Amino acid sequence: MSAPRGDLTVTALYTSGVWWWAGFSGAELLISREARSVFRVTNAALALVGCLRADRRSLRRGLADRHALIDGLAGDCGASVFVELAAGLSRRGLAFSADPSVRYVEVDLPAVIRHKETLLQRSEAGRRILARSNLQRVGADVASVALPSLVPTTDKASESPQRICVIAEGLMMYLDADQQRGLWCRIAAWLRDHPDSLFLFDLVPMSEQPAPGLLGRGLGALMGLFTGGRGFVVDPRDRHDIRRELLSCGFGSVELHEPDSDEGAAVPMLVFACRGWRSSTP
Ligand SMILES: C[S@@+](CC[C@H](N)C(=O)[O-])C[C@H]1O[C@@H](n2cnc3c(N)ncnc32)[C@H](O)[C@@H]1O
């Protein structure tokens, strides 16, 4: 990818390798030689760190479990409009937009969106997906994009507000607490006009990470290398602090979900499911 060193987009190459390795539908259309290399090198480095620290939990297994959990929560939420922030090379939009009644908007930095389109151009199946009118890609920074501009406010047929599912997977750990809060409050304000909407994101609070030096430090160093020093952010908040912050941003309720996986086999993951206001009609 044209992503230079020092750019967080290299992490999208790793996760695209994970979705392909785990066999998620559509991942085969987005995998590249470059992503396979990042996947292999990262896994080798993590295996080394794991041996040194006697920590054999698998990051790729944890990520795959998280991805499946978010797929399930999003698929069950009853929304027909999906906005995936920091969508990277995720195949979720490809899979969900196979249903023509769904509208799916993917947002990521312009270079990543361009790269995703180039990858899809390589195959007939990818070109058909690019031509879908219900799958839109937006090259923008999530810190500044005007969220309400991403989808129409009301459903044309019913003239009622759209029920939206907003997803931000694999993003929050790269933002500091103020940046996270800023984004959460913007999303809460937006979804206020969209009853029964859902916002899903993942974040394992620093305070719940394995003891410093276990997996996290090795991974942090690796991410620091890839991202020009912008490794994971140090943060004292626990899951309850984060939940309280989300409520104070204006979400009506916040549920926490953890993937089911073999005890100790995968790096732990935590998904926050935030709902706005419920409509008065059932
Ligand atoms: C770990 S990847 C996750 C990608 C995707 N969500 C997935 O799970 O496969 C992080 C993604 O966040 C994107 N990203 C980071 N900062 C961003 C920003 N300010 N605006 C938009 N996207 C951003 C990167 O380009 C990258 O694609």
Residue 90: closest CA among 187, 170, 158, 194 = 170
Cβ-contact 74, 55 below 8 angstroms = no
Distance CA 166, CA 277 (A): 14
Pocket test for ligand 1, best of 109, 116, 176 (most atoms within 8 A of CB): 109
Q: Check if 17 has its Cβ closer than 6 Å to any atom of ligand 1.
A: no
Kindly tell me the sign of the dihedral angle through the C-alpha atoms of 179, 139, 62, 34: negative
96 in a structural domain: yes
65 CB within 6 A, ligand 1: no
281 assigned to some structural domain: no
Count, residues in the chain: 282
For residue 5, being part of any structural domain is answered with: no
Report yes or no: 222 and 230 within 8 Å, Cβ to Cβ.
Answer: no
165 is a domain residue: yes
**Tell me, what DSSP letter sits at residue 207?**
G
Number of helices followed by number of strands (H, E) in the chain: 9, 7
Determine if ligand 1 sits within 6 Å of the CB of residue 109: yes
What is the distance between the alpha carbons of residues 251 and 64, in angstroms, rounded to a whole number? 27
Torsion 257-258-261-267 (CA) sign: positive
Q: Is the CB of 141 under 6 A from ligand 1?
A: yes
CATH number of the domain encompassing residue 226: 3.40.50.150
Answer whether residue 20 is part of any domain: yes
Atom of ligand 1 at shortest distance to CA of 112? Answer: 25
Which atom of ligand 1 has the smallest separation from the CA of 84? 6
Q: Are 38 and 17 in contact (CB under 8 A)?
A: yes
Strands 198-202 and 164-168: parallel
Is there a domain that residue 159 lies in?
Answer: yes
Domain membership of residue 55 (yes or no) is yes
Element (H, E) at 218: helix 215-226
Count up the domains in the chain and report the number: 1
Q: Determine if ligand 1 sits within 6 Å of the CB of residue 170.
A: yes
Residue 57, Cβ density class (10 Å: 0-12 exposed, 13-18 middle, ≥19 buried): middle
Range of the domain at 61: 10-275
The whole model's pTM is what?
Answer: 0.89
Ligand 1 centroid from CA 109, angstroms: 8
- Digit-by-digit pLDDT tens for the chain (282 residues) are 444 334 557 899 999 999 999 999 999 999 999 999 999 999 998 888 777 666 678 999 999 999 999 999 999 999 999 999 999 999 999 999 999 999 999 999 999 999 999 999 999 999 999 999 999 999 999 999 999 999 987 777 777 888 999 999 999 998 999 999 999 999 999 999 898 999 999 999 988 876 655 555 666 666 666 655 555 556 889 999 999 999 999 999 999 999 987 667 889 999 999 997 655 443
* Residue 30 CB less than 6 A away from ligand 1: no
Residue 35 lies in a domain: yes
Question: Tokens 């030689």 map to which residue?
Answer: 33
The beta strands (E) that lie in the chain are given as 81-85, 103-108, 135-139, 164-168, 198-202, 253-257, 271-275
Distance 134 CA to ligand 1 centre (A): 21
